Structure 1
Amino acid sequence: MFKLTKYLKPFIASITIVIVLLFIQAISELSLPDYMSNIVNVGIQQGGIENSVPKIIRESELEKLSIFMNEDDYNFVKENYKIINKEYLSEKDLDKYLNKYPSLEKETLLEINTKDEDTLEKINSLLSKPELIVLGLESGEYNEKMNLPEGSDPFEILSMLPKENLNSMVESIDSQFDEMPESMLKQASVSFVKNEYNAIGMDTDKLQTNYIIIAGLKMLGIAFISMIAAVIVGLISSRIAAGLSKNLRRDVFEKVTSFSNAEFDKFSTASLITRSTNDIQQIQMLMVLLFRIVFYAPILGIGGILKVLKTDTNMTWVIGVGVILILVLVGTLFSLAMPKFKSVQKLVDKVNLVTRESLIGMLVIRAFSTEKYEEEKFDKANKDLTRTNLFVNRLMSSMMPAMMFIMNGLTILIVWVGSHQVDLGTMQVGDMMAFMQYAMQIIMSFLMISMISIMLPRASVSANRISEVLFTDLSIKNNGTKEFPKDKKGIVEYKNVSFKYPGAEDYVIKDISFTAKPGETTAIIGSTGSGKSTLINLMPRFYDVTKGSITLDGVDIKDVEQKKLRSKIGYVPQKGILFSGTIESNLKYGMENASDKDIEFASKISQATEFIETKPEKYNTEISQGGSNVSGGQKQRLSIARALVKKPEVYIFDDSFSALDFKTDSNLRKAIKENIKDATMIIVAQRISTIKDANQIIVLDEGKIVGKGTHKELLDSCEVYKQIALSQLSKEELMHE
């Protein structure tokens, strides 16, 4: 699977953008619980007041706080406030301040004069306890504990006490706050700030509303950024996956076109089709999910864990429980699904194979009335695939409810544990809600990775199958560098050629030697299975010789580029193959720039003109896929014409006249002899009448040459040839010849 990673190199820039956007999306997602926590803690519970530091405070009230602070702390706090007195303000500034702080009319106020976060945090810590004490004294809560007379001003009495007595009183009150976390102290002391704002004349309801609205708008903005990032990531990921699939399909097709027959024997056609379509589709789906989930899940999960560790809670163990449960669930499903995923693609191959065989052989199936048998064969392959897919899909469908059960169970557990901590005063409600969201994000990240881990085996199988095609070592190497000489045209020589199929023990042909010259016809004949087609398939390098060599114009065909070799050869296969298009496009297949005169001339020689001219659209007549709308003889004549249009130096006819009647066969050979005089002709045939005029006839028997010569010479010298001739012609006809 990792071999295919090189195909991602063209998309490095896009992948980098995706990763950056995923970080933006994750940071945005992880920020939302904090804002929600602030809305609950600050906006709702604290009335929009963020901490114990009053933005504005009466000078007299700060003096009360100073009673419970040491001198250095008090001086530090006071130096960060500026005095606002109506006597020293201009009329314009006075109006502005009076609108905000009406009590300025009666008394001097102090306004915070710093925005430094560290300074504000220190002031917050210094003021929280004194504010709680002052709040308690003003409400009368501590009067009894401090033995203060009822109805007296506690602050006036305390200010007159000796420092030692005052400190002992403060320490007794401070002991009540020892078990409270600092966050709870700060939240409780906010009540003092709220009371102070009310006393100054500020609209605390508006303050609360503004805080909630602003925090809500920030959440909407962050959510919008997250959404935009997610949309762009989805778009880019889809483009990367589609581009990768396009490149894979292109390279797979190019690789397949370079296969020799040996590679086609290794990979079935049905399997190659599945690998080029379904398997690449699996990789495309994985790529989309890879960038949108696999990269995103760790960022979200690790970020969630870091956020949880920063929260002031002790419920991290809850997340550990959830992760362990998910890993157990995924491990179980993975072990059950993995073997099935490996077999799915093979079963898809099987369905394709059965379907392709049935469609190609439909006429034979109908002729033998075996439709029922073929239906049962397809039904079996289809049911096997369906059964496996159902098993996998049921596992996948059971995974989501199980995951949701775990997540909902964790939510209940967090609420149960968190509510007790809220009741004890060790946790705020907003913190519990934020923790719950972080826990869900962490669990969701594991869930996403788990879902990918279920899909990964099938994609991995597909990737391996594609890699098998792309990285198959070709048995026929196309690394020739030699050029054909210009002074020779079409001299073909087989020198002690032997060949056996890959993996076979016995040679199909052995010690074959002959020379085919320009302007002459070399015919090859022999019984079925004697190696005739194999012998000529070595010439265009559909296979490579096992021993010996084949030369064209004195150059070993292995030493030249395949394209240059095949440009010199006009090959007509035993089975005529046409492509969808028109008659003209098929005839120009080997030479796109051929003129109308060339294709008409080739059609006339191949005896195809007689049926082309009867078509309403003549050369523009449509040809169906595989030439299914023309007869076998017409298909064969068009295949011959296609080779003639190319005007090669060597013609190879692999039993290409078998579908022609004797008259058409005779006329075609006569036309070729009269019009094509300089080319080398190599003909494989079964009919004696087709080859009897050849300059030399090679007789094969069990892969060996048992006769070589003209028709007359072989009748006298080769028993095998004579027997073939007698099976087709009478003794009188042979004697006459």
Structure 2
Amino acid sequence: MYKTILSHIGKYKKEAILSPLTIIGEVAMEVLIPTIMAMIIDNGVKKGNIGYIAKMGVLMVLMSVFSLCFGALAARFSAVAAMGFAKNLRSALFRKVQSFSFANVDKFSTASLTTRLTTDVTNVQNAFMMFVRMAFRSPIMLVCATIMAVRANAKLSLVFLLAIPLLALAIVLIITNAHPRFEKMLKRYDDMNAKVQENLVGIRVVKAFAREKFENERFEENTKNVRLAQFAAEKLVILGMPAMQLVMYASIATILYFGGRMAVNGDIATGTLSSFITYVGQILLSLMMMSILFITFVISRASIQRIYEVLSEEPAIKDIESSEVSAADGSISFENVSFSYYDDMSNLALEKINLKISSGETVGIIGGTGSSKTSLVQLIPRLYEATDGRVVVGGHDVKEYSLKTLRDQVAMVLQKNVLFSGTIKDNLRWGDADATDEEIIEACKAACAHDFIMGFPEGYDTDLGQGGVNVSGGQKQRLCIARALLKKPKIIILDDSTSAVDTATDSSIRKAFREKLADTTTIIIAQRISSVMDADRIIVMDGGKITDIGTHDELMQKSEIYREVYDSQQKGAEE
């Protein structure tokens, strides 16, 4: 796990190595300075040797300057390495998410992936920065200061050796209890992010139903849960610091007591005692820094695990990038296809689907909510993988295509229409990045979008804002249809994508499809029978199965479900 995470240091490996090297120089200066100070006191001040004091004083100043320079370089190298590491890690996570199928995203949830890309990566970045500095500085300082302290006075050294087991016990207690609490805290962050995302997406609904107060109260509850989880995790760290300081200051007080008596008796020189106290401070500070490093590691371990879960996740759909298979036409065949969102054959969304659609055919799909109409068509471009059976497109199993090739041949306008920040033209060119202005206008005219676009002051250069907030639901649907048409696909799937437009516009779009997409296989999922009644064939679905197939007239004769839907819509229209 750690090897996988650390492999993303990449080109910042040089800074990650230079940081501990400069830290070695900083530590060397800091360890030597107390010895110089002791020599100044014992050999200069006591003997009144001004020349010696001046010479050694200049040396000590130079060593302090070198220590400062090494420290500044170490700080810069560690910051560059940590930030670069976080950038690479975040980029790797994002690339991994882009490779996920719908099933993988469903597994983690959008909110959780957002937390992992932000909060978790920041935790790991902070831990890495501390690691490249403290993981080298503290042990080196501990070893060097211990050697110098023992050389100064072996008997007094026994005091801080007794402090080490106490600090070790504090670390063990914190590590044992903190990790599960930080895991719980991060899950609470997921819940809070999910709530924020849900509210921002559905802000218009919240306003329409005047539910601001209710949503504020729910969010307050979410933030309260985060606070409580964070407090439960952090209080161990908060309590750990005073305990470590207690041990540290108690050790120094003990050394001052026994060292002072030894100095009075002449068993230790005053300068040596002064340097010894400084070394003890360095030793105990190193131990405390190592303790903090362990605690930070515990805090970040939960984040590391969550990041590793994403990086190690295998995409549910395997892409064969080297495949040269291309669709010969727009034919589609479902051969005994079953599908489950949970890979559980006892819980199927689609069951034993057998269906053949000829190239250039227009097929409508009708069915009640939950009849798995969308699930059926999502198998065509491999947004999900069939659990059993085969889906054949253009004469080849969809598993034989590279995903790019397959999805370039299949244009799909999803139920949830999504536009991105940028101009109308930028969004339309998702269908074809090289589309000319004439091709864009032609696609928009076919989708009945050209007129309302030209109604904007800036026309096709109008900025849509985040998620297309500047256009209505019907306008958004027509822009998404135009975007799909620009792909010039062999198969186009409209998944209830004209539900927000009026019947006249719907009819105009279908007329344009018949005239301009005569050779394109068209699949239309709709709730309105008027949207599919002139299709070559209409598929009636219920409970994840195909119950009937036929033309409008045939289904009126043989399909009770179709007839009931038609009668209810006609009755509503007459009323």
Question: Shorter-chain TM-score: which interval?
Answer: over 0.9
Matched-pair contact (CA < 8 Å) for 1:578–1:627: yes
Cα deviation for residue 534 of structure 1 reads 0.3
Instruction: Report the RMSD for the aligned CA atoms in angstroms.
Output: 2.1
User: How many Å separate the matches in 2 of 1:236 and 1:297?
Assistant: 17
1:213 counterpart = 2:54: yes
User: How many Å separate the matches in 1 of 2:375 and 2:416?
Assistant: 14
Structure-2 residue corresponding to 1:63 = none
Matching residue within 337, 362, 387 for 1:497? 337
1:230-249 equivalent positions in 2, closer than 5 A: 230-249=71-90
Q: C-alpha offsets along residues 545-575 of structure 1, whole Å, 9 cap, x if unaligned?
A: 0111111221111111111111111111112
Q: 1:345 to 1:271 in 2, by over 3 A?
A: same
User: How many Å separate the matches in 2 of 1:703 and 1:325?
Assistant: 65
Q: 1:304 to 1:616 in 2, by over 3 A?
A: same
Secondary structure, counterpart of 1:622 in structure 2 = coil
Cα deviation for residue 398 of structure 1 reads 4.8
Unaligned runs of 5+ in 1: 48-207
Structure-2 residue corresponding to 1:279 = 120
Q: 1:400 to 1:220 in 2, by over 3 A?
A: farther
For 2:45, the aligned partner's letter is I
Q: 1:421 to 1:578 in 2, by over 3 A?
A: same
Q: 1:519 to 1:338 in 2, by over 3 A?
A: closer
For 1:271, the aligned partner's letter is S
For 2:16, the aligned partner's letter is I
User: How many Å separate the matches in 2 of 1:481 and 1:332?
Assistant: 53
Matching residue within 279, 282, 299 for 1:458? 299
1:300 counterpart = 2:141: yes
1:524-603 equivalent positions in 2, closer than 5 A: 524-603=365-444
1:470 counterpart = 2:471: no
User: How many Å separate the matches in 2 of 1:732 and 1:582?
Assistant: 38
1:671 counterpart = 2:516: no
Secondary structure, counterpart of 1:315 in structure 2 = helix
1:639 counterpart = 2:477: no
Which stretch shifts more, 514-523 or 436-445?
514-523
User: How many Å separate the matches in 2 of 1:256 and 1:581?
Assistant: 23
1:482 counterpart = 2:323: yes
User: How many Å separate the matches in 1 of 2:246 and 2:100?
Assistant: 53
User: How many Å separate the matches in 2 of 1:485 and 1:396?
Assistant: 59
For 1:4, the aligned partner's letter is I
User: How many Å separate the matches in 2 of 1:32 and 1:400?
Assistant: 27
For 1:722, the aligned partner's letter is R
Cα deviation for residue 516 of structure 1 reads 2.4
Percentage identity across paired residues of the two chains: 36
User: How many Å separate the matches in 2 of 1:428 and 1:278?
Assistant: 53
Matching residue within 196, 204, 207 for 1:366? 207
Cα deviation for residue 372 of structure 1 reads 2.9
For 1:706, the aligned partner's letter is T
For 1:348, the aligned partner's letter is Y
Cα deviation for residue 402 of structure 1 reads 4.2
User: How many Å separate the matches in 2 of 1:639 and 1:209?
Assistant: 86
Which stretch shifts more, 423-432 or 367-376?
367-376
Matching residue within 449, 456, 460 for 2:290? 449
Secondary structure, counterpart of 1:627 in structure 2 = coil
Cα deviation for residue 334 of structure 1 reads 4.6
Matching residue within 81, 96, 100 for 1:259? 100
Matching residue within 408, 420, 433 for 2:249? 408
Matched-pair contact (CA < 8 Å) for 2:431–2:484: yes
Matching residue within 620, 640, 650 for 2:491? 650
Q: C-alpha offsets along residues 667-687 of structure 1, whole Å, 9 cap, x if unaligned?
A: 111111112222111111122
Cα deviation for residue 416 of structure 1 reads 1.7
Structure-1 residue corresponding to 2:64 = 223
Cα deviation for residue 543 of structure 1 reads 0.6
Q: 1:725 to 1:46 in 2, by over 3 A?
A: same
Structure-1 residue corresponding to 2:31 = 30
Matched-pair contact (CA < 8 Å) for 2:10–2:85: no
Q: 1:731 to 1:712 in 2, by over 3 A?
A: farther
Structure-1 residue corresponding to 2:470 = 629
For 1:656, the aligned partner's letter is S
Structure-1 residue corresponding to 2:451 = 610
Matched-pair contact (CA < 8 Å) for 2:325–2:402: no
Secondary structure, counterpart of 2:467 in structure 1 = helix
Structure-2 residue corresponding to 1:42 = 43
Matched-pair contact (CA < 8 Å) for 1:519–1:678: yes
User: How many Å separate the matches in 2 of 1:9 and 1:357?
Assistant: 36
1:713 counterpart = 2:565: no
Structure-2 residue corresponding to 1:14 = 15
Cα deviation for residue 271 of structure 1 reads 0.9
Matched-pair contact (CA < 8 Å) for 1:480–1:559: no
Q: Highest Rg: 1 or 2?
A: 1
Q: 1:22 to 1:375 in 2, by over 3 A?
A: same
For 1:363, the aligned partner's letter is R
User: How many Å separate the matches in 1 of 2:557 and 2:239?
Assistant: 81
Q: How many pairs are equivalent?
A: 572
Structure-2 residue corresponding to 1:5 = 6
For 2:341, the aligned partner's letter is Y
User: How many Å separate the matches in 1 of 2:571 and 2:206?
Assistant: 38
For 1:218, the aligned partner's letter is L
Structure-2 residue corresponding to 1:184 = none
Q: TM-score, normalised by structure 1?
A: 0.74
1:433-444 equivalent positions in 2, closer than 5 A: 433-444=274-285
Secondary structure, counterpart of 1:682 in structure 2 = strand
Matched-pair contact (CA < 8 Å) for 1:498–1:511: yes
Matched-pair contact (CA < 8 Å) for 2:9–2:88: no
Matched-pair contact (CA < 8 Å) for 1:526–1:701: yes
User: How many Å separate the matches in 2 of 1:388 and 1:8?
Assistant: 31
Matched-pair contact (CA < 8 Å) for 1:344–1:385: yes
User: How many Å separate the matches in 1 of 2:324 and 2:393?
Assistant: 11
Q: C-alpha offsets along residues 679-705 of structure 1, whole Å, 9 cap, x if unaligned?
A: 111111122111111112222122222
Structure-2 residue corresponding to 1:73 = none
For 1:254, the aligned partner's letter is R
1:659 counterpart = 2:494: no
Cα deviation for residue 394 of structure 1 reads 5.0
User: How many Å separate the matches in 1 of 2:300 and 2:520?
Assistant: 52
Q: 1:234 to 1:731 in 2, by over 3 A?
A: closer
Cα deviation for residue 9 of structure 1 reads 5.0
For 1:316, the aligned partner's letter is S
Cα deviation for residue 391 of structure 1 reads 4.8
Q: C-alpha offsets along residues 505-544 of structure 1, whole Å, 9 cap, x if unaligned?
A: 2221122222223322122112221111000011111110
Q: 1:722 to 1:649 in 2, by over 3 A?
A: same
Secondary structure, counterpart of 1:692 in structure 2 = coil
Which stretch shifts more, 394-403 or 633-642?
394-403
Matched-pair contact (CA < 8 Å) for 1:525–1:700: yes
Q: C-alpha offsets along residues 648-678 of structure 1, whole Å, 9 cap, x if unaligned?
A: 1111111111111110000111111112222
